[in-house]
C-alpha cells in the first residue's frame, strides 16, 4: 500500500522496474488510451525461466507470440489517466 496511487476499477500503475506494454494483434505497441494484449518488455530472469519438464512449451507459450516480449496471455486496457 502506498507504493502507487490507486484508482477504483483499475489494477493500478506498474510497480517499479516492471515495463508493461499494450500490443495490438500484430505486435505493435499501443500508446495512450486503448485496449490490447498485455505483455512485459525487458522481462527479468526470475519472472519465469521454464515450465518444469517442457522448456519448449514455456518458450512457445510466453515468448514466441510477441518476440522480444513476455506475453502474459491477458488482455488489458489503459484509460486517459494512464491506468
Measured between alpha carbons, how far is 73 from 49 in angstroms, rounded to an integer?
A: 16
Structure-block grid coordinates of residue 38: 498485455
pTM for this model (two decimals): 0.82
Structure-block grid coordinates of residue 55: 522448456
Sheet arrangement for strand 69-78: 19-23, 34-41, 69-78
* C-alpha torsion sign, points 57, 63, 26, 21: positive
pLDDT tens for each residue of 23-67: 999 999 999 999 999 999 987 777 788 888 999 998 998 889 999
* Residue entry with cell 518476440: 67
Instruction: Say how many C-beta atoms besides its own lie within 10 A of residue 49's C-beta.
Output: 8
Amino acid at each position: 500500500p502506498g507504493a502507487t496511487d490507486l484508482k477504483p476499477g483499475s489494477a493500478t500503475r506498474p510497480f517499479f522496474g516492471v515495463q508493461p506494454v499494450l500490443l495490438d494483434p500484430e505486435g505493435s505497441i499501443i500508446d495512450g488510451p486503448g485496449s490490447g494484449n498485455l505483455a512485459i518488455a525487458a522481462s527479468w530472469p526470475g519472472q519465469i525461466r521454464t515450465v518444469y519438464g517442457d522448456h519448449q512449451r514455456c518458450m512457445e507459450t510466453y515468448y514466441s507470440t510477441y518476440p522480444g516480449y513476455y506475453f502474459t496471455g491477458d488482455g488489458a486496457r489503459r484509460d486517459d489517466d494512464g491506468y
